[in-house]
Each structure stands twice: as C-alpha cells, then as structure tokens.
C-alpha cells in the first residue's frame, strides 16, 4: 500500500531522554509500515549539552525548521549543571508558546496490572483526561524583580488569562468530554482566591457549555481536586484547568496511575498552524541516565498520542493495546531494561 | 492554683463551623482549669448569615475588637448562597492579612488507627509540618480584569513576594525544623517556571540556612512534591512554601493523613503583634450541616495548636494524646455523632 509521509522532528534531549526516545521510535517503526505511514525523521540536538557548548537553548533558526515539520517527539530536557529554568523557559516553554500548544493533553488512566499507591482502587476507578491550558496563566514569564538581593527586594509573577485563550482550551475540553462515555467536564481552579482569572474561566465554561447540553459540568477548587485525586479519583472524567494547576494535578495523576514512568502527554496545537509536540511527563532523570533503567512506557504512550494526532487512530490503538498487554504481564516478568521493554512492546505491535 | 486569663475570640462561622467549634470548646473547657488557664470568650457573628443580613464580611470595628484579643478560634466560613470569594477574600483572607498571619502552620501526621488512602503506609511514614506563607504570593488579590465579558477580556493575578516576607517565614520554618528529630527542611516551589519568585525563595533559604548548619535543606518542584506526597511521603519532615502551593499541598497532606476531618491549622503571627487564629483546614460543608455528622477532630487538634501558641504546652500534649487515643479506637466504635466524639475526647482529657 502507498504510504503517507509525515515529517517527524525528534528532540531526544538530556539524561534518559535519548534512551526513552529510542524505544518510542522502535515502536513507531514497528507500527508505521502496516499503517501506511512513513516518518521522515530529523533529529535536533537541543538541551543541556548544546547549551553548554553554544549557550543556545532554542535558536530562532531551529524554531523555524521545527515549524516546517508535521509533528515533534521530545524526550526530556534538563540537567543539574544548567541553572534551573534555563532550558525549561528557553526550550520547552518557548516551544510550547511559539508553536501555540494551547492544549496540554494528559490522560490519567490506570492500566490493569499496574500498581497504584492508592489502596483499594481498581483500573475502572482512574480513567480521566486532563486538558491543561498551555500558553497562558503564570507560565507567561511576565513578572520581575526589583532591588534584587536587598532586604527590600520584591519579586512578582503574573498570571495572564485571556477570553481568547480560555475559550479555545475550554472548547477543546468540551469536545473531548462529548466524545467520552461519561461526558463530564470538571473545571479546576481557585476562583475564591484568584477571583479575576477564576471568574473568567467560570463564565467561559458556562457560556461554551450551552453549546454542549449533553456534557455535565462541575467545578472543583484545585486544593480539593488534589485531595479527590487521592481519595475519590472516580469523580473525574475530563478536567479543564489552567497551566499551573494542570502542571500540579497531572503529577498527582501520574502518581495515582502508577508513576511518572507511565505518564504521556501531548502539547497540541489543535488548529494545526504549527506542529504539535508529544513527550513523556517525566524529566531527564540524570541520576539513572545511561543505565538502561528508565521506563520507556510514557514515551511509547506519547507516540500513540502522536499517531492519533496525525490521523492514524488504528495505529494508536495498536500501540496502546501493546502497552496495555505488556503492563498486564510486567509484574510477573521481573526487572527489564529500557530496551527490553521497548523490544517487547514493538514485538507485540508487529505481531 | 491561680489561673491565667486568656481572651479568646470565637468565630463559629457557617455550615458545620458552629458544630465543630462547640466540640473544640468542650475540650478546651475540659483541659483549661487543671492547666491553670481561664478563657474569657467573645463570640463573633461573621459569615454567610451576617453577609446576607448586612452585606458585611469583616467590618473594621470587628477587626479592631479582634486585635484586642489574645487568640482566635475559627470554625469554617462559606455558603453556596454567597458569591465565591466574597467571604474567603472579605473575611478569612482579610483576617490573615490584617492580623499578619505570615505563618500558616499545617501538621500532616498519620495517627495510629487512622485509615489512609495510601497502600502499605504506616504512621511513622507520614509525619511532617508544612509551613505555608500566609500574607503574600498569589493571595495578595493584586490583579484585575479589562474588557470584561468581551472576546478581548484579559484577567490577571499577580504573585507578590518580598525579601521581608519570604525571610520571616523561612526563618520560622528553620526554627521548626531545628526543633524536630530529623532536622530536614524542604523548599517547595516552581523555580524553573516562576523564576523571579522561585529564585528569591532559593536565595533566602540558602542564606538563612547558613545560620542553621544542623538543618539539612533540599528543594522540590511543587508538581513533583505532590507526587512524592502520594508515593514517598516519608521524604518530608518540614516543608516551607508559598501561599498557593501551600494551600494545594496541605490538602493532599490532609488526604494522605486520613482526610480533611482531621487536618488542623494555625494562622500564626509569630511576632505577636496581633492575635493568631486557629481553624480546621476543612470548609463549612453545608451538605452535612446540622446533622451531627461532622468530625470535630480537626477543630480539637486546632485547639491543641492554640494551646501551644498561648504557652500551654502541657495542655496541648494532653489534648493531642486524647485525640490520638480516640482515633486509635475509632474504627472499633462505629459511627458517632459530632457531639459524641467531642464528649469522648473531652472525657479523656479530664480523666
Ligand atoms: C519542566 C517544566 C517546565 C514542565 C512544566 O512545568 O510544564 C513540566 O513540569 C511538565 O509538566 O511538562
Ligand atoms: C477558603 C480558602 C480561601 C482557603 C485558602 O485558600 O487558603 C482554604 O482553602 C484554606 O486552605 O484555608
């Protein structure tokens, strides 16, 4: 069958990034041909090493090249040798903002066979999707410092929220909710304290919700939401929330669904004015880098999300099923290396 | 023995507030005489009912009266009939800010016999104190909205952080850490994104830490911290963090330590330029109000913190021990009413 060509940018990054990305690509290679897909790959050397060498995080020229790609797969960036925030703001967040990744999509799903730290919880109890806003809120970088280093220092951070930005992510979240069996959307915010931003989110959810009468909506303060993630995770189906709250609750989501080694994410530009970027939620974990200890599952599940995004839903379902089957047997298999897990999943996908 | 007189302001508030406060006072009555304390009580009618009647949340005149008290016990405020934020900003946060409660002290401790949602965790694994900043950060209310209700609306919230404000809460946290066996202090922030505020916290912890060589310090991003609360709570001894992050992580803290019904807190002015205020972390829970179903334990533990604050450490330890004994037997006792739990703890304290 004739294959459809997709330009794939790869940013392996630092630490365990290259190791997990290698396994993600292995699985992609296993699933692509029979799905009629051919990925034209370009790898970009970005991250701590490049910053040390050149002082660059995400140069304009590379950003321009990325714009010409169809989709991006990122491993992880960051290293203790680089000042905190340098790569996060200069590379990761810059990519999310410049490529207008206004939806940060993070499924929280407990697969059968996976151990959760929660007592008495079964897979059916944890199955939600967090739709995190990706281009606004406290992540804008707006703010500053005066009288730095003096007893009179003042440091500010500003959360910027626009009707434009809130509406587009809320609308996306309603679409996701409408496509799921439970059709429930929960707004998570802190509207009793962050009254201006919270009120904007509330009004937009109410207004857009009128177009989705089939979707039930409710509201939960972020502090209560974190508690419910731990003691009543079944309350949630689809969650929509701002950039910072989404960052926080998706880490609890990862924890309850079996750990950061399994949490996938997509930085999505639903309007397709620029390529979307898929990445595991975990960081570069320099402490275990190069030892074959990293779990590539989050990256492989991110590859499944990437396949969905490029319209290859069948291939995405096959990758997910292979991961699910692997996870179900994992406890019985004992310790495996990063590559062994990737091999096993790739084999299931091909077989 | 001659008794020391302490002026106690009581704000029962809304919903279950009055019910749990009644039990807190019952226990206070039981412990005070033999501890040489006499509480001169004044009750303040603040909350939803007053707002409906008069439009007032915390009038200046009441605030002035509160300033003349030694200490405050608050139940809970809030009701769905009041617009979100009205009582929170107008009463609760106003009190915290005006009375300069710059330390929001929240112990997270799993008592023996208490069920935690976490699998395989025992009481020794969860024993920490969160020192949450109480007068700065995104809670200042700074921010606003332009072009409200239009597609061009912009809503902002500003986090304001000062060297003055950060240093005093960090210093307090070091004192708490130095007084505990593990002597470990973890800064929780998001310095890779909120670079200005995060950097200020980092520098202050480093500088003040030089005065406390016996205390080990480390740092954890807020997103990772929420995950560790769930899957490695034993990592934490004392946590210092900003107002919003503290709000969020203490709710997870409550969840892992047996639920919001047990979580106590103190809004502390360590300089004693105004009275400190003690309150359960939970809200007014209007859905169960008036039914005798509310758990008064969080309020009773807040009374223990109040006793510590007024220098009655022995009485505080007796209340804590009574609570601990009650909790240890609770599972075997079946359902009890709010008053029955209060009676049982009061009896242990007197006995
Ligand atoms: C690395 C950091 C900037 C990033 C974020 O805060 O969004 C990460 O925590 C994530 O969740 O993807
Ligand atoms: C009611 C609300 C304003 C308050 C807060 O956010 O501080 C509450 O959640 C708390 O933690 O005491």
Query: Residue holding tokens 């857009």?
Result: A208
Residues 131-170 of B with CB under 8 A from A: 138-139, 141, 143-145, 147, 149-164, 167
- By Cβ distance, the residue of B119, B139, B150 closest to A163 is B150
Residue nearest to atom 1 of ligand 1 (CA): A88
Q: Which CATH architecture has domain B1-108+259-351?
A: 3-Layer(aba) Sandwich (3.40)
Query: Residue holding tokens 């009055």?
Result: B18
Residue A276, both tokens:
């979307």
Residue A20 has pLDDT above 90, yes or no: yes
Do B227 and A157 make contact, defined as CB atoms within 8 angstroms? no
Q: Please confirm, yes or no, whether B247 is among the known catalytic residues.
A: yes
Residue pair B282/B10 in contact (Cβ under 8 Å)? The answer is no
Taking the C-alpha atoms of residue B276 and residue A147, their distance in angstroms, rounded to an integer, is: 31
Do A222 and B163 make contact, defined as CB atoms within 8 angstroms? no
Annotated binding residue A330: no
- pLDDT, position B1: 56
pLDDT band at A351 (very low <50, low <70, confident <90, very high): confident
DSSP string, B182-208: S-EEEEEE-TTTSHHHHHHHHHHHHHH
Residue nearest to atom 2 of ligand 1 (CA): A88
Domains B1-108+259-351 and B116-122+136-257 belong to one CATH topology:
yes
Atom of ligand 2 nearest to the CA of B251: 11
Average pLDDT rounded to a whole number, residues B325-344: 95
Do B190 and A249 make contact, defined as CB atoms within 8 angstroms? no
Taking the C-alpha atoms of residue B50 and residue B63, their distance in angstroms, rounded to an integer, is: 15
Query: Residue holding tokens 């490529």?
Result: A99
Query: Residue holding tokens 């207004």?
Result: A207
Query: Nearest Cα to A198, choosing from B48, B157, B89?
Result: B157
pLDDT tens-digit readout, A109-134: 999 999 999 999 999 999 999 999 99
- By Cβ distance, the residue of A151, A222, A226 closest to B164 is A151
pLDDT tens-digit readout, B244-292: 999 999 999 999 999 999 999 999 999 999 999 999 999 999 999 999 9
pTM above 0.75, yes or no: yes
pLDDT tens-digit readout, A37-91: 999 999 999 999 999 999 999 999 999 999 999 999 999 999 999 999 999 999 9
Annotated binding residue A203: no
Using a CB-CB cut-off of 8 Å, the residues of chain B touching A139 are 193
Considering every ligand atom, which ligand is closest to the CA of B74? 2
The residues, any chain, with a CB within 8 Å of residue B270's CB and separated by 6 or more, are B102, B103, B168, B172
Residue A72, both tokens:
């991006």
Considering every ligand atom, which ligand is closest to the CA of A137? 1
Taking the C-alpha atoms of residue A206 and residue A202, their distance in angstroms, rounded to an integer, is: 6
pLDDT band at B351 (very low <50, low <70, confident <90, very high): confident
The residues, any chain, with a CB within 8 Å of residue B153's CB and separated by 6 or more, are A162, A163, A200, B145, B146, B147
The residues, any chain, with a CB within 8 Å of residue B303's CB and separated by 6 or more, are B24, B25, B27, B28, B73, B278, B319
Average pLDDT rounded to a whole number, residues A268-288: 97
Q: Which CATH number applies to B116-122+136-257?
A: 3.40.718.10
Give the mutation candidate from B76, B163, B202, B260 for the A interface (greatest A CB count, under 10 A). B163
* Beta-sheet pairing, B184-189 with B238-241: parallel
Do A160 and B156 make contact, defined as CB atoms within 8 angstroms? yes
Q: Which CATH architecture has domain A116-257?
A: 3-Layer(aba) Sandwich (3.40)
- pLDDT, position A242: 98
Using a CB-CB cut-off of 8 Å, the residues of chain B touching A244 are 190, 193
Atom of ligand 2 nearest to the CA of A192: 3
Considering every ligand atom, which ligand is closest to the CA of A190? 2
Query: Angle at Cα A52 formed by Cα A48 and Cα A53, nearest 5°?
Result: 115
Q: Where are the domains of chain B?
A: 1-108+259-351, 116-122+136-257
Longest dimension (CA), chain A: 70
Residue A3 has pLDDT above 90, yes or no: no
Annotated binding residue A286: yes
- By Cβ distance, the residue of A89, A160, A227 closest to B252 is A227
The residues, any chain, with a CB within 8 Å of residue B13's CB and separated by 6 or more, are B21, B46, B47, B74, B75, B76, B77, B78, B284
Do A117 and B116 make contact, defined as CB atoms within 8 angstroms? no
Domain covering A1-101+263-351, topology:
Isopropylmalate Dehydrogenase (3.40.718)
Tell me how close the Cα of B67 comes to any Cα of chain A, in angstroms. Answer: 24
With pLDDT > 70 as the criterion, what percentage of chain B qualifies? 99
């Amino acid at each position: 069958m004739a294959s459809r060509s997709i330009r794939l940018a790869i940013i392996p990054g630092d630490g365990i990034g290259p190791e997990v990305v290698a396994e993600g690509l292995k699985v992609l290679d296993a699933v692509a041909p029979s799905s009629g897909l051919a990925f034209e790959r370009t790898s970009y050397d970005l991250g701590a090493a490049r910053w040390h060498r050149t002082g660059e995080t995400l140069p304009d020229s590379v950003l321009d090249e990325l714009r010409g790609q169809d989709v991006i797969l990122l491993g992880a960036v960051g290293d203790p040798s680089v000042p905190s925030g340098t790569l996060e703001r200069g590379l990761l967040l810059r990519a999310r903002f410049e490529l207008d990744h206004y939806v940060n999509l993070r499924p929280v799903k407990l697969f059968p066979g996976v151990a959760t730290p929660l007592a008495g919880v079964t897979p059916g109890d944890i199955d939600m999707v967090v739709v995190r806003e990706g281009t606004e809120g406290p992540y804008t970088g707006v703010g500053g410092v005066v009288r730095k280093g003096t007893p009179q220092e003042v440091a500010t951070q500003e959360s910027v929220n626009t009707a434009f930005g809130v509406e587009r992510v809320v609308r996306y979240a309603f679409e996701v909710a409408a496509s799921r069996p439970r059709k429930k959307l929960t707004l998570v915010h802190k509207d009793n304290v962050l009254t201006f931003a919270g009120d904007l989110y509330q009004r937009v959810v109410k207004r857009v919700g009128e177009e989705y009468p089939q979707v039930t909506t409710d509201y939960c303060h972020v502090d209560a939401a974190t508690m419910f993630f731990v003691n009543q995770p079944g309350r949630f189906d689809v969650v929509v929330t701002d950039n910072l709250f989404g960052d926080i609750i998706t880490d609890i989501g990862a924890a309850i669904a079996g750990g950061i080694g399994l949490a996938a994410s997509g930085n999505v530009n639903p309007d397709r004015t620029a390529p979307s970027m898929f990445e595991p939620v975990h960081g570069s974990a320099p402490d275990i880098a190069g030892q074959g200890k990293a779990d590539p599952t989050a990256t492989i599940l991110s590859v499944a999300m990437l396949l969905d995004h490029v319209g290859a839903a069948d291939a995405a379902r096959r990758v997910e099923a292979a991961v699910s089957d692997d996870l179900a047997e994992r406890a019985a298999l004992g310790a495996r290396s990063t590559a062994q897990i990737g091999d096993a999943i790739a084999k299931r996908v091909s077989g």
